[in-house]
Structure 1
Amino acid sequence: MVTVENKSLNIMKIMKYKSCLLLMLLVLMAFSCDPYDDYKVDTVGFKAVYFPNKDFIEKTGRSIISGEGLEFKIGAYIGGVKENTQDEEVLFEIDETLLDGTGYTLMPSNYYTLGNENRITIPKGEYLGLLPVKFDSLAIANDELFKDLNYALPLRMVESSVDSILEGMGDIVIPVKLINTYEGNFYQIGSVKEFFTVTKVLDTAYVYGDYGDLTSNISIRNLSSIMMDTVKVDGVANRTGDNYSMKLKVNPEDNSVTIIPDPSSDYQVEENGFSLWDPVKRVFTLKYKYTYEDKDFEVEETLTFRNRIRDGQNEWRWEGFEGN
């Protein structure tokens, strides 16, 4: 039979036991360190440097953009540390032998300037060091090999202030091409008037596109770079296909646009008023005309930047473009 006295004794024992557990817990907390200390231990055991995204960069290359700085950066990464507590140095060289069998041509040394001729610094507190590569616009302006991935920069790490250079990741071949700031995919909106060539009588007038509905249903024009200041448009007015194209040349001094006929196009365009490039809103405003069979056509249209693919990345009009 359990008496009231026994119940009280049991309750006191339980309370005493809980008090002991609480005291032990408080002691442990008092003498413990930061709960994340275990994760600050370098479990890898050595530091290594390497070129990140090597396979991707060697496959897609890098684009330098006329009108946006003519520059890109090469990265060197440090692994094997939870925290980089000091500046680390990576020495490299341009190694032409890396181009053997690639089909690439060594980038002429007078075309570019490196931020440092043989060193990449990974700053304290960072895991990535960057080496700027700037290109000379005058030197490359008329070199048509830049239209595609023909030139390359071959870099090899030769020494580092850390334990090692990661095997298989200490060299990289970077193909480089030139595009201009006008390249990309553009929403097309415009109007066409058709006149009989002989009588000059208006036959038909129609519009294409809608300013209030920039959706996937609207026509998209692709503008591809032809060196520093010129693009080729894959269509004329509302006609598209292999037989329809024209060229736009932008004067960077005043952003005026010269419309140039493409010899391969069925429609040979001519200017028909003032055309302009708006670099803030990224919009072409175009006026041109052409003759086909027994009719003259007058076109007024706008091309509004939608997106572009650069180095495998999709850049949309509302991401990183001032005024959009």
Structure 2
Amino acid sequence: MKKILIFSIIISVLTSCYDEFRLDNEFSAVAFSNVTGGSNEQGVLWRTVVKDEGLKLNAGVYLAGILDNEKERWVDFELDPALLSGTDYTLLPSDYYTLSNNSRFIIPSGKSIGTVEVLLDSIKFLNDPLAIKANYAIPFKLTETSEDSILSTQNTQILVLKYINRQEGYYNQKANYATINNAGDTLNTGSVENLLMASTLAYNSVQTNGTINIGDYYNMKYVVNDNNEVSVEYVPNLDPIEIRNVALESKVIAAKVSDWEVADAIKDDYQPTSSEDKNGAAFGNWPNPNAWDFVEYEFPSTYSITNSNVYWWTDLGGIQIPYNTYLEYWDLDSEEWKLISGSIVVNGVSIPDDQYGLTTYDENNKAPGTDADMYNETFFDPITTNKVRIHFISIESQGILEWQVWGLPASSSLETASYKTIISNGVSNYDPAKSSFDLKYRIYYKDQNDVVLDYYTDVYSNIKWRNRIRDGVNEWRR
């Protein structure tokens, strides 16, 4: 009993001491939060509302310096359009919204946050095409308060508002397709499972980043009608397809790499000033004296490539410029490595196909494409492939600073040809309860002259909503 009494006294003393040290600050202050909601701009908060999930949210301030708020407090504000000067934001029209209080935040007793509800107009806001992006803003400025001060560094907030519709998000797709020619013959069938992303276009429509194919040139628009039937259409990418350095997105495969060198360095896009310029990293294969080696790029998909540029590296010692080199590509039909061919030009010199890739060169009779202090450029007729290799040999080990391979995305199957249009092929529906689409559509294709090809693909797809990112928060399956 005595021990229990002593223990109780100790607890009482400790609790009393804690209460004595748990004190409010001498002064209280109010401020806006410094959270940005993804804008990454001081004093700018991005917020998103969802159609059919409520078009309202709270703007708010917080109380600092008070541990237990035992009374009601207030903060007055005004809307100051001057805050938007020099920004990319536009003042939200006053008839697009209402505030629950037009001039004051109230911090209730027992709370440390005071809020004002912003209610958006479901007709005007949702029908404005600018409202689907971070364009419209309400500029708040704190003016007076019941507290000792307003924090001067957080006394304003540009509240930027946009909306998304309920269909926006990431979807798991399962689709079956059949490719048929104009005579009615089935040329190919298949199925796909992939992840689609749908972005809001308007209050009742989204654009996906693909169909049975994923990519900028396979975009599709879904319009959800009042009866939940869905119309579909192809969304052409109006940006011209530009030749690009495929190496930047490719996987590097090297047979041998020095422990202190990095194979991926050959595609880091560093621009050397000489073959000795190793300010960036480099590929090297020491020790590999006077022996053939290669480096390979494995592309993320099929490309039509037209030229290769390699910048050799030397340390003037164990790493030397090659005296011979040549390129090979993976032939998709025969499934074997082949020498490049067709209109080959190396550093401005034309080389007949039967003279390319000869292994008779040596250090006294170097092959074209082995110059130091420059990009060695090799041009050739377009080759459709998904892999390419550069072979090389020198009197010592070999090194590469940069290796570029230039090309364009290429069709690797009937279904990856350029789209002409997409039409409905039966009734497509949206199921709000399951957050899923059942789609039936037909894809028509075209050649490089915009002429419709003599086949099409019928697609039957189910896509189910998985998650979405809103205001930096990952919201998962409903």
Give the TM-score category using the shorter length. Answer: 0.7 to 0.9
Matched, 1:77 2:62: yes
8 A contact 1:269–1:290 mirrored in 2: yes
Which whole-Å CA distance do the structure 2 matches of 1:151 and 1:22 have between them? 65
8 A contact 2:58–2:117 mirrored in 1: yes
Matched, 1:259 2:259: no
8 A contact 2:134–2:160 mirrored in 1: yes
8 A contact 1:58–1:175 mirrored in 2: no
Give the equivalent residue in structure 2 for 1:286: 439
Matched, 1:40 2:22: yes
Q: How many residues align?
A: 286
Give the equivalent residue in structure 1 for 2:51: 66
8 A contact 1:58–1:172 mirrored in 2: no
* TM-score, normalising length: structure 2: 0.56
8 A contact 1:156–1:172 mirrored in 2: yes
For the structure 1 residues 234 and 166, does the alpha-carbon distance in structure 2 shift closer, same or farther, using more than 3 Å as the test?
same
CA RMSD of aligned residues (A): 2.6
Matches within 5 A, 1:1-324: 34=16, 36-42=18-24, 44-56=25-37, 58-59=39-40, 61-197=46-182, 199-209=183-193, 219-236=194-211, 238-251=212-225, 253-264=226-237, 266-292=419-445, 293-317=453-477, 321=478
Q: Which amino acid aligns with 1:200?
A: G
For the structure 1 residues 272 and 46, does the alpha-carbon distance in structure 2 shift closer, same or farther, using more than 3 Å as the test?
same
Structure 1 alignment gaps of length 5 or more: 1-18, 210-218
Displacement after TM superposition at 1:170 (Å)? 1.4
8 A contact 1:182–1:223 mirrored in 2: yes
Which whole-Å CA distance do the structure 2 matches of 1:309 and 1:220 have between them? 15
Which whole-Å CA distance do the structure 1 matches of 2:110 and 2:160 have between them? 30
Which whole-Å CA distance do the structure 2 matches of 1:75 and 1:165 have between them? 14
Which whole-Å CA distance do the structure 2 matches of 1:261 and 1:33 have between them? 69
Displacement after TM superposition at 1:144 (Å)? 2.1
For the structure 1 residues 196 and 155, does the alpha-carbon distance in structure 2 shift closer, same or farther, using more than 3 Å as the test?
same
Q: Which amino acid aligns with 2:213?
A: R
Displacement after TM superposition at 1:280 (Å)? 2.5
Displacement after TM superposition at 1:78 (Å)? 0.7
For the structure 1 residues 85 and 58, does the alpha-carbon distance in structure 2 shift closer, same or farther, using more than 3 Å as the test?
farther
8 A contact 1:91–1:118 mirrored in 2: yes
* TM-score, normalising length: structure 1: 0.80
State the SS of the aligned residue for 1:235. Answer: coil
For the structure 1 residues 300 and 55, does the alpha-carbon distance in structure 2 shift closer, same or farther, using more than 3 Å as the test?
closer
8 A contact 2:419–2:444 mirrored in 1: no
Displacement after TM superposition at 1:255 (Å)? 2.0
Q: Which amino acid aligns with 1:193?
A: A
Which whole-Å CA distance do the structure 1 matches of 2:443 and 2:8 have between them? 88
**What do the CA deviations read for 1:132-154 (whole angstroms, capped 9, x no partner)?**
11111211233222232122111
Q: Which moved more, 1:61-70 or 1:51-60?
A: 51-60
For the structure 1 residues 24 and 111, does the alpha-carbon distance in structure 2 shift closer, same or farther, using more than 3 Å as the test?
closer
**What do the CA deviations read for 1:206-235 (whole angstroms, capped 9, x no partner)?**
1112xxxxxxxxx21111111211101111
Q: Which runs of 4+ in 1 moved over 6 A?
A: 21-33
8 A contact 1:244–1:267 mirrored in 2: no
Q: Which amino acid aligns with 2:197?
A: N
Which whole-Å CA distance do the structure 2 matches of 1:139 and 1:204 have between them? 48
8 A contact 1:58–1:174 mirrored in 2: no
Which whole-Å CA distance do the structure 1 matches of 2:5 and 2:129 have between them? 79
8 A contact 2:38–2:46 mirrored in 1: yes
8 A contact 2:200–2:207 mirrored in 1: yes
For the structure 1 residues 58 and 95, does the alpha-carbon distance in structure 2 shift closer, same or farther, using more than 3 Å as the test?
farther
Which whole-Å CA distance do the structure 1 matches of 2:199 and 2:5 have between them? 74
Structure 2 alignment gaps of length 5 or more: 238-417, 446-452
Displacement after TM superposition at 1:304 (Å)? 1.3
